Amino acid sequence: MNQKQKKNSIPDSSTGLYGIIGHPVAHSLSPVMHNSAFKATGLNNVYLAFDVTDLEDAVKGIRALGIKGVSVTVPHKESVMKFLDEIDPVAKKIGAVNTIINRNGRLLGTNTDWIGAVKALEEGAGRLDTKKVLVLGAGGSARAVVAGLTERGARVLIANRTLEKAKDLAEQFDARWYSFDELPDVEANIVVNTTSVGMEPNQDTSLIPAELLPKYPIVMDIVYSPLKTKLLKEAEAAGCKTITGLRMLLFQAVAQFELWTGMQAPAEVMERALYKTLKKSNE
Ligand code: ATR
């Protein structure tokens, strides 16, 4: 069990090390969320960002240095799997790992992105088992969102630019698939953009024509830079309820903290740290 940290104490020889591996990671918001959570719970841990290009060596480093838990982000979520000792069934099904847990030297890969997506949607939309959800995209992020929706019993529809990918994903999760051209005929309670369309520096793009938005009462974008994407701005103007990508980011981190520590995460502290950092970086 982790030793408790005295208030404001500096790291010492019993400090537990956690971190994120990705490339680039300079703007990752995970360090502020996790460090604020460690501080609030009094755990003697620190969380650092590691910009990693040699993934195999980085994973050896996790083992060699006894790093206790690691978040994995773009572009390593899929390629890291082959270097780990065990992948849990949910990460296998999604085909991506965003969380590594070091259990006495054995590295277990799991995925909390699906939990993040589901919690963000449940917070904004309530129960999902009665909902029809249109997912835009069929890449790695879409797989996590679709896995979460399926787990909660939602009816899932997938639309993607490359139809073959939409079909493959839909078949795996027993969903329906569409091309973007068919969207005028597709009704759903919720739409979730899982693609990078709308992300800086291409913030003037959106996959759904504004005139179709009134068909979707709740609109979520997993993109959070900018916080209000073109899709969300247009959805708001159309009277839809909107959910930003920051909610998913927060809840996937909350789930990571709980897996690593076995403690309830101080979600409000993490949320405050996240929003404060973003506000500062936008000033
Ligand atoms: P991630 O892990 O972030 O999901 P990915 O696996 O590369 O990244 O998937 C990217 C998704 O965004 C895909 O669904 C991709 O569509 P294609 O399968 O047709 O490539 C979608 N995407 C990216 N740029 C897009 C664009 N300009 N227009 C439409 N879809 C786009």
pLDDT (tens digit, 9 = 90+) per residue, 237-262?
Answer: 999 999 999 999 999 999 999 999 99
3 assigned to some structural domain: no
198 assigned to some structural domain: yes
Nearest CA to ligand 1 atom 10: 139
11 assigned to some structural domain: no
Instruction: For residues 200 and 130, state if they share a domain.
Output: yes
Which member of 68, 77, 93, 230 is catalytic? 77
Instruction: For residues 189 and 118, state if they share a domain.
Output: yes
Helix/strand number for the chain, H first, E second: 9, 12
Number of domains in the chain: 2
Instruction: For residues 119 and 239, state if they share a domain.
Output: yes
Instruction: For residues 85 and 58, state if they share a domain.
Output: yes
CA of 137 to the centre of ligand 1 (A): 6
Strands (E) located in 13-168: 16-22, 45-51, 69-72, 86-87, 99-103, 106-110, 132-136, 155-159
Instruction: For residues 81 and 146, state if they share a domain.
Output: no
**Which are the contacts of 181, defined by CB distance < 8 A and separation ≥ 6?**
none
Residues 184-229 have pLDDT tens digits of: 999 999 999 999 999 999 999 999 999 999 999 999 999 999 999 9
CA of 98 to the centre of ligand 1 (A): 18
Which ligand 1 atom lies nearest to the CA of residue 161?
19
CA of 145 to the centre of ligand 1 (A): 14
Instruction: For residues 158 and 179, state if they share a domain.
Output: yes
Kindly state the DSSP code that residue 126 receives in the 8-state scheme: -
Kindly state the DSSP code that residue 180 receives in the 8-state scheme: G
Which ligand 1 atom lies nearest to the CA of residue 137?
14
The per-residue pLDDT string of the chain (283 residues; one tens digit each, 9 = 90 and over) reads: 455 555 557 999 999 999 999 999 999 999 999 999 999 999 999 999 999 999 999 999 999 999 999 999 999 999 999 999 999 999 999 999 999 999 999 999 999 999 999 999 999 999 999 999 999 999 999 999 999 999 999 999 999 999 999 999 999 999 999 999 999 999 999 999 999 999 999 999 999 999 999 999 999 999 999 999 999 999 999 999 999 999 999 999 999 999 999 999 999 999 999 999 988 877 7
Is the Cβ atom of 75 under 6 angstroms away from ligand 1? no
Is the Cβ atom of 197 under 6 angstroms away from ligand 1? yes
Instruction: For residues 272 and 209, state if they share a domain.
Output: no
* 77 flagged as catalytic: yes
What proportion of the chain, given as a percentage, has pLDDT over 70?
A: 97
Instruction: For residues 102 and 141, state if they share a domain.
Output: no
2 assigned to some structural domain: no
69 assigned to some structural domain: yes
Instruction: For residues 214 and 189, state if they share a domain.
Output: yes
73 assigned to some structural domain: yes
Tell whether omega for the bond before 75 is within 30 degrees of 0, i.e. cis.
yes
* Selection from 42, 62, 43 nearest residue 52 by Cα: 62
pLDDT at 9: 78
34 assigned to some structural domain: yes
Is the Cβ atom of 193 under 6 angstroms away from ligand 1? no
Q: What is the CATH number of the domain that holds 95?
A: 3.40.50.10860
Is the Cβ atom of 244 under 6 angstroms away from ligand 1? no
Alpha-carbon span 276 to 184, nearest angstrom: 39
Instruction: For residues 26 and 100, state if they share a domain.
Output: yes
* Amino acid identity, position 145: V
Q: What is the CATH number of the domain that holds 152?
A: 3.40.50.720
Range of the domain at 45: 16-111+249-281
Instruction: For residues 133 and 213, state if they share a domain.
Output: yes
Instruction: For residues 275 and 227, state if they share a domain.
Output: no
User: Taking a C-beta distance cutoff of 8 angstroms, is the pair 136, 113 a contact?
Assistant: no
Nearest CA to ligand 1 atom 21: 195
pLDDT at 6: 55
83 assigned to some structural domain: yes
